[in-house]
């Protein structure tokens, strides 16, 4: 699971590299899998 690693990001900063497992069992590596495409990243933190 991705966790904050230090400083907050600001405008113009590069998106940090993160790896996620999808509900279909695939692995998505950001930002690499979205290079050259528009995308929206929504993070659902799960059931509280």
Give the tens place of pLDDT for each residue, 3-12.
555 677 788 8
The residue count of the chain comes to 48
Put simply, whether the predicted model's pTM sits higher than 0.75 gets the answer no
pLDDT reported for residue 27: 94
Give the pLDDT confidence score for residue 22 in this predicted structure: 87
Residue 20 near residue 27 (C-beta atoms within 8 A): yes
User: What residues in the chain have per-residue pLDDT under 70?
Assistant: 1-6, 48
Q: What is the pLDDT of residue 3?
A: 57
CA 48 to chain centre: 21
């Amino acid at each position: 699971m991705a966790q904050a690693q230090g400083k907050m990001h600001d405008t113009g900063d590069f998106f940090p590299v993160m790896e996620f497992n999808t509900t279909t069992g695939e692995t998505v590596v950001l930002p690499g899998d979205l290079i050259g495409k528009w995308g929206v990243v929504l993070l659902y933190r799960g059931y509280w």
